[in-house]
Amino acid sequence: MHKSSLNYLRCVGCQSKLELESYKEKEQIIEGLLSCTKCNLTYPIIHGVAVLWNDFAAYLSNRAKLGGELLLSAKTSQIKSIIKSALAKAAKSQDLSIIEKRWATIYQNNKKSKFYYTIQKTLPKASLTLEHGCSVGTMTGFLAGKCNTVFGIDKSFYAILEAKKTDKKNLDYFVADSMEHPFGKTKFDLLLGLNLFELVEPKKLVKILASQIPKHGTLVLSDPYDYERGAKSVKEPLYENTIRKEITKLGLVISNTTKKPSHMQWNLKLHQRASLQYLVDLVIAKKS
């Protein structure tokens, strides 16, 4: 984690400023602890990645394998102790570690997809940029070349660890939940949320994203509207027409080029014998 990122980060519990205690650092903070003096929540920094989750034990409760890997690879006694304590408190449930690690590999292998290139051509320069659900950093890595300061957040530690391999001083990544993001009231000139609607409640997500944009700021959304997830399906899905109505209600003006639904091809290769072929809708809007 870059020390400069501390200026933007806030407690996910009470939105207060955070204090940094560094245990190991080189050009960045490799291991350390972020603490909120107001509500006493703490957030570990492991392998240069700050885990900005309101309960680290809860985060590891369905990532036991990840927790074990982090414990074995931790460099300092302070971080080892934090991980041990979290694992001891964690209520064991389905382990997402293997799934998240697999998808990090899949997204890494698909970084050169034409889908990303098509969206990149539409993105403006910006001073402060954030991508929700950034995965391995395909878009954020590109944006760091044209924007002043860029952040990416994702739930997957494996994906963020891969994204961190793109080492740029104006780019930083965090493990965080978009529904409880760690940026308080900070506004972003450019905000991205690509293909996330089936993973969270889209109405709630769009409302949160709209609140993070200042006047004249740009919001970029895309989705294939693939909501069929069985018991894990969202309760209130948005589709190509309802997403545009929802965005307009939130005070954003949709660009002329994306007023009509689009069908961008996104071919996601899973392995040599399987791939997913989506037709993705793109929406670009500005805060009026």
217 Cα distance to chain centroid: 19
Asked if residues 23 and 40 have their Cβ atoms less than 8 Å apart, the reply is no
**Which domain-ending residue is among 51, 68, 95?**
95
Q: Which residue has 């998808």 as its token pair?
A: 103
Q: What is the pTM of this model?
A: 0.96
Domain of residue 170, CATH code: 3.40.50.150
Structural domain boundaries, residue 81: 3-95
Q: Which amino acid is at 275?
A: S
Same domain, 230 and 111: yes
Same domain, 251 and 202: yes
- For residue 228, the model assigns a pLDDT of 87
Residues 117 and 259 grouped into a single domain:
yes
Q: Is 146 in the same domain as 76?
A: no
How much is the pLDDT for 34?
A: 98
pLDDT for 230: 79
Q: Are residues 59 and 192 in the same domain?
A: no
Is the distance from CB of 191 to CB of 129 less than 8 angstroms? yes
Shared domain for 153 and 279, answered yes or no, is yes
Q: Tell me, what's the pLDDT at 255? A: 97
Q: What pLDDT score was predicted for residue 288? A: 86
Residue 130 shares a structural domain with residue 185: yes
Strand partners, 42: 35
Instruction: Choose the final residue of a domain: 45, 68, 95.
Output: 95
> What is the predicted pLDDT for the residue at 174?
98
Residue 97 has a pLDDT of: 96
Domain's final residue, options 95, 125, 146: 95
In the chain, the number of structural domains is 2
What pLDDT is attached to residue 258? 97
pLDDT in tens, the chain (288 residues): 999 999 999 999 999 999 999 999 999 999 999 999 899 999 999 999 999 999 999 999 999 999 999 999 999 999 999 999 999 998 888 899 999 999 999 999 999 999 999 999 999 999 999 999 999 999 999 999 999 999 999 999 999 999 999 989 999 999 999 999 999 999 999 999 999 999 999 999 999 999 999 999 999 999 999 998 877 789 999 999 999 999 999 999 999 999 999 999 999 999 999 999 999 999 999 998
Query: Where are the strands (E) in the chain, listed by range?
Result: 19-25, 29-35, 42-46, 49-52, 128-132, 149-154, 171-176, 190-194, 218-223, 252-254, 264-271, 274-287
Structure confidence at residue 229 (pLDDT): 82
Q: What pLDDT, on a 0 to 100 scale, did the predictor assign at position 53? A: 97
- Quote the pLDDT of residue 232: 79
- Are 8 and 172 in contact by the 8 Å Cβ rule? The answer is no
